[in-house]
Amino acid sequence: MTLLEVDQLSVTYTPRDQPAVRAVRDVSFTISDGEFVGLLGESGCGKSTLGNALLRLLSPPARIIGGRVLFDGADLATLHTRQLRELRWTNLSTVFQSSMNSLNPVIRIREQFADTFAAHRVTDNVDTRAAELMELVSLDRRVLRAFPHELSGGMKQRVALALALALRPKLVLLDEPTTGLDVVVQRSILDRLAELRQELGFAVLFISHDLGTVLQMADRVLVMYAGEIVENRPAAELRSDPRHPYTRGLLGSYADPRQPEVRITSIPGRTPDLSVSHPGCLFAPRCPYAEDACTQTHPALLPDHGGLVRCLVAQADRLPTTPPGPLTGATVDPAFVATGGAEVASISPGIADAAGTSSAGAAGARSPNAGSGSLSAADTDEATGAGETAAILVVHDVHKRYTTRKGLRTNTVTAISGVSLALHRGRVTALVGQSGSGKTTIARLITGIERPTTGEVRFNGGGDGDGDPTRVDRLRGRALRDYRRHVQMVFQDPFAALNPTRTVAYALSRPLVNYGGLRGGAARDRAAELLESVGLFPAGQFLDKLPHQLSGGQRQRVVTARALAPDPAVLIADEPISMLDVSIRAEILELLADLVRTRRLAMLYITHDLLSARLLADEVLVLNRGELVESGPTAEVIGAPRNDYTKLLLDSIPRL
Amino acid sequence: MSTPAPAVPTPSRNTQTAVEQGHRSGMRGRLLGRQPGWFAILWRNRKCRIGLLILAGFVLVALFAPVLAPYDPRSNDFPTSLGPTGDHWLGTTVQGEDVFSQLVVGARTSLIVGLAAGLLSTLVGLVIGLTAGYAGGWVDEILSFLINLGLVVPALPLMVTLAAYSPVRGLWLIIFVISVTGWAYGARIKRSQIITLRTRDYITAARFAGDGTARIIAREIVPNMTSLIVVGFMGAALAAIGGEAGLAFLGLGDPLTVSWGTMLNQASLGGAMITGQWAWLIAPGLTLALLITSFTLINFGIDALSNPHLREDG
Amino acid sequence: MAYFARRFAFFLATLWAAVTLNFLIPRLQPGDPAEAIVSRIGGKGQAVDPAQLEAVRTMLGAPGGNLFEQYVRYLGAVFSGDFGVSYSYFPYSVTHMIGEALPWTLVLVGVTQILSFVIGTLLGTWAAYRRNTRVDSVITLGSTFVGTLPFFWIALLLIYVFAITLRWFPERGGYGGGSSPGWNWLFISDAFQHSVLPGLALLITGPIGWIIGMRNNMVQSLGEDHARLAVARGLPERRIAITYGARIAILPNVTGFAIALGSILGGTVLVETVFNYPGMGRLLLESVSNKDFPLMQAIFLFTTIGVLIANFLADILYGFLDPRVRKAENS
């Protein structure tokens, strides 16, 4: 039986002195009793706006400009506030993305439950009911007495989930409920959610950009692009037979790192500007199958192969039948390769077959796979060679303790204990761990921002490799600056890493001026060369742009170009793709892999994401609470983990 | 100090968070980049446009004061305590000076004090705030303590005490006294702003690019604080204009300068209320209020400039 | 408890700094401060009276000795409450004069401040509750406009309208000639009548800062996720406005209280002068015109200490209101 029916819902943002943006456009779908529906889309596609519109939580300048939201026969979009208030939470509850802010900071958790019960005239004993709910989400009942700031992010999100279930609603809307939490915590919350749904039988609308999770959890998936639903199909069918080219692209950008062969692709181009009207299909400019009609006729969401799809090519059944590679193990979708050009990443450095995982060593494991991707072949040679060369940077038995002093008490926290690692030219070492595991501290020690409490950081690339190694842990002032020309960083958030008031040319010229002694025109010419070396053509078009005029992927390329400017030997990449949209991650990974190969860089790749580590790294180090718990060739660590913590990390990845 | 200070803290607190929001949402680059859009955005805001026009009017009056004033404001050759007449639009003082001429020349005093003391205290606040925020550690501890002290010491009594000790009360002394008492608020805001800015990745990136501290502050940090500095200057100028008027009204201003504060002081002492010279009493207060209004209106625009949220709510 | 200890330490440190500032101000001018002061009292060209010089030296805390000895003796004098003898109200001591004036200001400022805070907070809450409606615009724009009016000018207009033209209230002073200070009905009603206009002058502009602050903070906190979630939870509007809006929005206003008080006291100087009200502000100005430096210094010190105490109390209150502060300081 239909629980929620959304009919032609549209939302527009009308800022005062900017053009109006049609954020959600003619969205229609239904959710049945007890159904788990996933709403999948990348940032800016309008999925959160849609969620807020369903909850009627939009605030100016966003406004519903048309359509209906029928819930049990009542139209939530137009219902009078007083009647709406009665329906809220008893019928439709929600968990927001940011667990940090979704609880009132100045009142105790218990009060937030009491508020909810009082508002809906629940007469049961608050403490009993609230304690039951705490139990549902596996929390201690003492949490009720706490203030929100006393809880961890995961605990807060559990409280938010308990709150959402407080009145036994028929539908729960979850908007990126676990984004920002550690993978292990994410996993346990999602598992609990699945169990609770079994027990209590509520329906779920699960909004997320995380394809793996959505496919694993949902019965049916809605795919959203540029404010529209482009595909609506049962999850299993969506996985095996995606019918919209965008869905195919998204599926191509995801893979399970535990598979014997891993390959991801990216979608070229960027999302359309929704403040101007487009006559044709919104995805057409990025679509490998686009035909002439696609640029003129706006497709409707029509039944197709047992689902609904908004694509003229699919509806005319002219879609190539080749399903995307990564999930089935076949080769990459040729259409993307053909049209994507430089944008396409086709990386498969991993284990070619299951046999490679256990027996063969690092280099050996790779060779059978040569030829299937440009990276893997070259990588093999490098890996073999690298094994013989001396390490360019060595971290030896490093400990880092922080001492904080408050009045007379001192408090010592151990961030890193006994970590040793070595970086080699032409090789990528991945440092994998959750937030708080100490991986960023290691980057700070290597780059000389901080000094280890004990232990050594040695750099062997200072002169021509003839002199004694540089003791990084003893550098200061001028010497530290000289050292940094050899060790550069690529940051996590490309927007934060570029000064919003400075042009690309300025950002690139600084290292050239400071380290290369270049001036004026020479620096500018070199900056242009750097831009082209990171795939930004023609460079002249980018030099005078400000960061906000670039897309996320372009910004990350600029950040990378700046790091390359002093021609460093070591590159520290701190989660360089985690802030990027899923569909463009592959292209940045490919860029990094390419740079390591062509420039013989030694790279420390810091990540929490095992998929990208699998794709990029030769060697993986797993860090837990400041200690290395496992290390070895990527294929061995991911294919046959020995440490429990590594196994836990791997188990947290959704299995498809 | 005629504007109550509590009006200042909270709107500026919003400015500060707004600046951060701007950073995150990516609006800020567009708003405060090197494009010419800067002034255009201010101008497009209706409140701000009115404020700018009023201020421009005051600036013109101040520039051409000698031409615009019908008489020498100090000349007391006229009949005393006149009400408004054709010759003396706003009447004359108890000493026989022309009130309108004094009003015109007084605009000059207010603007000079506002500009000079505003600049001076903004500069002091900027240097102290930047140093405290960027240096951190014990430097920050000491400077923060100074800032907090500057915030809690009551400004007007301090001004009165400082003014009382100085043998000559020239306009520059008044400006100095006002700046000494008015820098702390701006310093606090700038300190907290730089603390959030200095941990940004692009600052670390600049250090990796080999830039030195001075260059990082000047080229990477300060450009991102433009609106904050402008808002701070407007607030400081506004407080300075009020402070000068207050001091002058108390009879502690520069005795040789005609200002709206001294006019009100004389109107009060000269019995304007008893003789019913309402124009003498009302005009200086209204012009003062109008000048302060123009600053407030401009601040609306600047707030909106750095806070996309406010832009949307109007 | 670490939070409270820290605030108390800050209070002591600022107290010390204020006393030191007070010690330094007269010494900022070149030469012997005592002689400089006495020559200013007497006017140019007059011989310095040794007795005067002695009195001023006592006020400065040290007849002779180097700066450090002077400082130590000055501190001793301050902490024993000895501020010397008033020059213009001889033979009364400075402490006596302040004792006479302090209650007037305490009552006037205390009552108007508490009223301002309450009125301002309520109006600000109302404006935020009805945000983006006519009520909001009227309150916001109205208070912004009134905020631009000069303080003392409003006071002058009040006298002009209510005292001189309408004759509803006495024009100036703290009480009439017919009554004498004491706990009698005549005096209290007389003092009340005299305090209406000064109080009104303080109350017209007093709430504005709180209105704007409260309104903006509350609009902000009502836009945050926890308030939006409260809406989604179907809580009554009023409950959301109070617990998820006002309850949080009031916090910055509490910390702003002491800073505001510093400038309110400035306003009090102006208002007391306009109304010739016998409080600390008028006494400060009188001491300035009479060149009564011992009195002036002591008043400045007392005023500063008053603000510091208020600041400390506001910090303590804040600690109780915001659970996050106590925790953050503890960990």
CATH at B299: 1.10.3720.10
ipTM over 0.85: no
Structural domain includes residue B160: yes
Q: Which of A84, A86, A89 sits opposite C233 (nearest CB)?
A: A89
Q: What's the pLDDT tens digit per position in A622-641?
A: 999 899 999 999 989 998 99
Query: Nearest C-alpha of chain B: how many angstroms from A578?
Result: 15
| Cβ contact B26:B308 at 8 Å | no
Confidence of residue A104 (pLDDT cuts 50, 70, 90): very high
Give the full edge-to-edge strand order of the sheet including A62-71. Answer: A21-32, A2-13, A62-71, A74-75
Single out the residue of B55, B57, B46 nearest to residue B293, CA to CA.
Answer: B55
Q: Which residues pair with C67 in a beta bridge?
A: none
Higher pLDDT, A594 or B82: A594
Confidence of residue C253 (pLDDT cuts 50, 70, 90): confident
Determine, for residues A565 and B32 on separate chains, whether the beta-carbon distance falls below 8 Å: no
Average pLDDT, chain A: 84
Q: Which residues pair with A24 in a beta bridge?
A: A11
C324 chain-A contacts, CB cut-off 8 A: 105-106, 147, 149
Is the confidence at residue C185, as pLDDT, over 80? no
Structural domain includes residue B76: no
Q: Which of A85, A89, A106 to mutate to test the interface with C (most CBs of C within 10 A)?
A: A106
Confidence of residue B272 (pLDDT cuts 50, 70, 90): confident
Can you give the pLDDT at residue A535? 87
Domain ranges of chain C: 2-80, 101-150+206-330
| CATH class of the domain at A2-225 | alpha beta
Is the confidence at residue A369, as pLDDT, over 80? no
Confidence of residue B287 (pLDDT cuts 50, 70, 90): very high
Can you give the pLDDT at residue C29? 64
Determine, for residues B165 and C151 on separate chains, whether the beta-carbon distance falls below 8 Å: no
Q: Which of B149, B160, B285 sits opposite C17 (nearest CB)?
A: B149
B159 chain-C contacts, CB cut-off 8 A: 266
Is the confidence at residue A354, as pLDDT, over 70? no
Can you give the pLDDT at residue B17? 36
Q: What's the pLDDT tens digit per position in A190-228?
A: 999 999 999 999 999 999 988 889 999 999 999 999 999
Can you give the pLDDT at residue B70? 83
Single out the residue of A616, A565, A620 nearest to residue A590, CA to CA.
Answer: A616
Structural domain includes residue B121: yes
Task: Tell me how many domains chain B contains.
Answer: 1
Can you give the pLDDT at residue C32? 65
Domain ranges of chain A: 2-225, 243-337, 387-651
| CATH class of the domain at A387-651 | alpha beta
Can you give the pLDDT at residue A530? 92
Q: Which of B32, B41, B205 sits opposite A501 (nearest CB)?
A: B32
> Per mean pLDDT, which of A213-222, B60-69, C2-11, C148-157 is the most reliable?
A213-222
Structural domain includes residue B31: no
Determine, for residues A510 and B211 on separate chains, whether the beta-carbon distance falls below 8 Å: yes
Structural domain includes residue B283: yes
Confidence of residue C48 (pLDDT cuts 50, 70, 90): low
CA geometry: angle A485, A488, A494, nearest 5 deg:
135
| Dihedral of alpha carbons B172, B174, B178, B180, sign | positive
| A·B CB contacts under 8 A | 92
Distance CA B51, CA B121 (A): 22
Is the confidence at residue C176, as pLDDT, over 90? no
Q: Which of B25, B28, B47, B202 to mutate to test the interface with A (most CBs of A within 10 A)?
A: B202
Query: Measured between alpha carbons, how far is residue A377 from residues A478, A632, B25 in Å?
Result: 41, 20, 41
Among chain A residues, CA nearest to B19: A500
| Cβ contact B4:C208 at 8 Å | yes
Structural domain includes residue B276: yes
| CA A375 remoteness from chain centre | 23
Query: Nearest C-alpha of chain A: how many angstroms from B44?
Result: 8
Is the confidence at residue B141, as pLDDT, over 80? yes
Percent of chain A with pLDDT over 90: 47
Can you give the pLDDT at residue A55? 92
CA geometry: angle C18, C19, C25, nearest 5 deg:
85
Can you give the pLDDT at residue B96? 77
For residues A137, A142, A146, A148, the Cα torsion angle rounded to the nearest 10 degrees is: -10
Is the confidence at residue A386, as pLDDT, over 80? no
Is the confidence at residue A364, as pLDDT, over 90? no
Task: Collect all residues with Cβ–Cβ distance below 8 Å to A204 and sequence separation of at least 6.
Answer: A35, A36, A37, A171, A172, A173, A174, A193, A197
Distance CA B10, CA B17 (A): 11
Tell me: cis bond preceding A494? Omega within 30 of 0 counts.
no
Ordered DSSP codes for A275-295: TS--SS-TTGGG-TT--GGGG
Task: Collect all residues with Cβ–Cβ distance below 8 Å to C80 and sequence separation of at least 6.
Answer: none
Tell me what the mean pLDDT of segment C288-317 comes to: 85
C26 chain-B contacts, CB cut-off 8 A: 165
Determine, for residues A481 and B201 on separate chains, whether the beta-carbon distance falls below 8 Å: no
Can you give the pLDDT at residue A382? 40
Query: Nearest C-alpha of chain B: how many angstroms from A13?
Result: 10
Helix (H) or strand (E) holding A606: strand A602-607
Helix (H) or strand (E) holding A627: strand A627-633
The count of other CB atoms within 10 Å of the CB of residue C41 is 20
Task: Collect all residues with Cβ–Cβ distance below 8 Å to C116 and sequence separation of at least 6.
Answer: C202, C203, C206, C207, C210
Confidence of residue C190 (pLDDT cuts 50, 70, 90): confident
Is the confidence at residue A383, as pLDDT, over 50? no
Distance CA C47, CA C35 (A): 11
Confidence of residue B15 (pLDDT cuts 50, 70, 90): very low
Higher pLDDT, C331 or C17: C17
Can you give the pLDDT at residue A164? 92
Is the confidence at residue A488, as pLDDT, over 50? yes
B292 chain-C contacts, CB cut-off 8 A: 148, 150
Is the confidence at residue C269, as pLDDT, over 90? no
Among chain A residues, CA nearest to B196: A496
Higher pLDDT, B4 or C324: C324
| CA C238 remoteness from chain centre | 34
Is the confidence at residue C56, as pLDDT, over 80? no
Determine, for residues B264 and C14 on separate chains, whether the beta-carbon distance falls below 8 Å: no
Can you give the pLDDT at residue C322? 84
Structural domain includes residue B15: no
Confidence of residue B304 (pLDDT cuts 50, 70, 90): low
Using the Cβ of B255 and the Cβ atoms of chain C, whether some distance falls under 8 Å is answered with no
Structural domain includes residue B85: no
Q: Maximum Cα–Cα distance for chain A, whole Å?
A: 80
Q: Which of B47, B197, B201 to mutate to test the interface with A (most CBs of A within 10 A)?
A: B201
Least confident among A126-130, A242-246, A329-333: A329-333
| Cβ contact C268:C109 at 8 Å | yes
Higher pLDDT, B227 or A168: A168
The count of other CB atoms within 10 Å of the CB of residue C37 is 24
Confidence of residue C148 (pLDDT cuts 50, 70, 90): confident
Confidence of residue A160 (pLDDT cuts 50, 70, 90): very high
Determine, for residues A500 and B23 on separate chains, whether the beta-carbon distance falls below 8 Å: yes
Can you give the pLDDT at residue A159? 93
Can you give the pLDDT at residue A347? 42
Least confident among A498-507, A557-566, A574-583, B273-282: B273-282
Average pLDDT, chain B: 79
Q: Which of A88, A90, A98 sits opposite C225 (nearest CB)?
A: A98
Scan residues 210-229 of B and list those with Cβ closer than 8 Å to A: 210-211, 219-220, 223-224
The count of other CB atoms within 10 Å of the CB of residue A403 is 9
Can you give the pLDDT at residue C227? 92
Tell me what the mean pLDDT of segment C251-272 comes to: 79
> DSSP assignment, residue A148?
G
Higher pLDDT, A544 or A351: A544
Is the confidence at residue C265, as pLDDT, over 80? no
Q: Which long-range contacts (CB under 8 A, 24 or more apart) does C63-70 make?
A: C67/C27, C70/C23
Scan residues 272-311 of C and list those with Cβ closer than 8 Å to B: 273-274, 284-285, 288-289, 291, 293, 296-297, 299-300, 303-304, 307-308, 311
Can you give the pLDDT at residue C33? 65
Size of chain C in residues? 331
- Amino acid at the residue B205: A
Domains A2-225 and A387-651 share a fold: yes
Can you give the pLDDT at residue C170? 83
A neighbour chains, 3+ CB pairs within 8 Å: B, C
Is the confidence at residue B13, as pLDDT, over 60? no
B200's tokens: 């940004």
Using the Cβ of A488 and the Cβ atoms of chain B, whether some distance falls under 8 Å is answered with yes
Scan residues 83-112 of C and list those with Cβ closer than 8 Å to B: none
Q: Which residues span the domain enclosing B102? A: 42-62+90-310
Can you give the pLDDT at residue A428? 95
A163's tokens: 């709150």
The architecture (CATH level 2) of C101-150+206-330 comes to Orthogonal Bundle (1.10)
Distance CA A656, CA B13 (A): 49
